[in-house]
Amino acid sequence: MRRSSDRSPGRQSRPLVARDAAIRANAACGSWLGLPTYRLMSAPDPSQFGKLPDLPSVGIAFARLCEVIAKLRSPTGCPWDRQQTLETIKPFTLEETYELLEAIDSKDDTAIVEELGDVLLQVVLDAQIGRDEQRFGIEQVLDVITRKMIERHPHVFDTAKAHTAEEVLTNWDRAKQCEKQRDSIFDGLPASLPALARCARIAEKAARVGYDFPHRAMLFDKLREEIDELATELFSDGQIPQIAASVDMAPVPDEPIADAARRSRVEEEFGDVLLVVANLARRWKINPEEALRKSNAKFERRVRFIEVALKSQGRSIRDATLIEMEELYQTGKRQESKSDSRP
């Protein structure tokens, strides 16, 4: 978990910063708290899934973490930790979740172990804050999630039947509906979910009750329809200009949409296009948020390649022409393709 003074202006720097720096220094030397660098050497064997960890060791390690967090929150602990509330800690929880996603993408098991620990820290710290405020504790957190997993899997822990993942999800939604007495299939979806992720979840929940196109290819026709409607708002004749994508013409300045009502309509049509694209991804079992996150990383990586290549020439990206940048972009793309094709 990365903590720095710029996260909390005016607050004391955390004493754990020095410890974190030491951990990272050890990791750079191939060791992290004395643990080996984790690397899966062979394909996992599904027949070996579900084996319990060493429960006594897990209990000791988890108790030690709880002790550390309780100490940090105590009167003789850390001023920064004592100052935190469930509300103030929320941004760190979100940040640590995204850092875990990046570690998973990197396929670096040592980084994954560290980031999983940071996410677990958020859970234990939140629970300790709850205990300090006499609201709840880690015991309740563990009990609730354990009971939930048992109750939501009656095909494993009871007599219900579920032979496919789809049947499991249907049973799961039915159980949630009964447990929480929800009025809508959308109740319970976090309002703070990123819009693209929320879009996919909304469509998924509607599909589970049968509200979906019978054939997924129909969504391409729907996409064409939405693009036509967007073009109607963007262009006076409703037609998209037929201009080939290239970099060998002078830039044409973008004209802003001055009329507020028209701008609102354009925004709505863009949203409709994105909704259909998210649904297309869903029907092919692709997470649109994950797909976009990876494309963002790919574009950033290739632009960084341009920056590095120009810097080696003693130049800045700000001084390069569009044609030069595109040539370097394509060079970086080709190098990635060669690297990906290696055994």
- Is the full-model pTM beyond 0.75? no
Place of tokens 């569009």: 322
More confident residue, 26 or 118: 118
- What is the domain partition of the chain in residue ranges? 5-38+56-151, 195-240+259-286, 294-341
Amino acid at 210: G
Q: How far apart are CA 67 and CA 111, in angstroms?
A: 24
pLDDT confidence bin for 71, thresholds 50/70/90: very high
- pLDDT at residue 4 in the model: 41
Most confident of 18-22, 169-173, 238-242: 238-242
Instruction: Give 42's pLDDT tier (boundaries 50, 70, 90).
Output: low
217-264, pLDDT tens digit by residue? 999 999 999 999 999 999 999 999 999 999 989 999 999 999 999 999
Q: What is the mean pLDDT of the chain?
A: 85
Banded model confidence at residue 37, pLDDT cuts 50, 70, 90:
low
**Above 60 in pLDDT, residue 269?**
yes
Chain segment 287-300, per-residue pLDDT in tens:
998 899 899 999 99
Residue 114 pLDDT level (bands cut at 50, 70, 90): very high
Asked whether the domain spanning 195-240+259-286 has the same topology as the one spanning 5-38+56-151, the reply is yes
Per-residue pLDDT, 163: 86
CATH of domain 5-38+56-151: 1.10.287.1080
The CATH architecture annotation of domain 195-240+259-286 reads Orthogonal Bundle (1.10)
% of the chain with per-residue pLDDT over 70: 85
Confidence (pLDDT) at 41: 52
What is the per-residue pLDDT across 303-336, written as a single tens digit (0 to 9) for each?
999 999 999 999 999 999 999 999 999 999 999 8
Counts of helices then strands in the chain (DSSP H, E): 13, 0
The whole-number pLDDT of residue 38 equals: 53
Let me know: does 219 contact 279? Beta carbons within 8 Å. yes
- Alpha-helix residue ranges (DSSP H) falling in 107-161: 109-132, 138-151, 154-157
Q: Is 257 helix (H, G, I), strand (E, B) or coil?
A: coil
Structure tokens, 310: 């120009």
Judged by phi (left if over 0) then psi (alpha if -120 to 50, else beta), residue 107 lies in left
Q: Which residues pair with 32 in a beta bridge?
A: 35
Nearest to 197 by CA among 317, 282, 78: 282
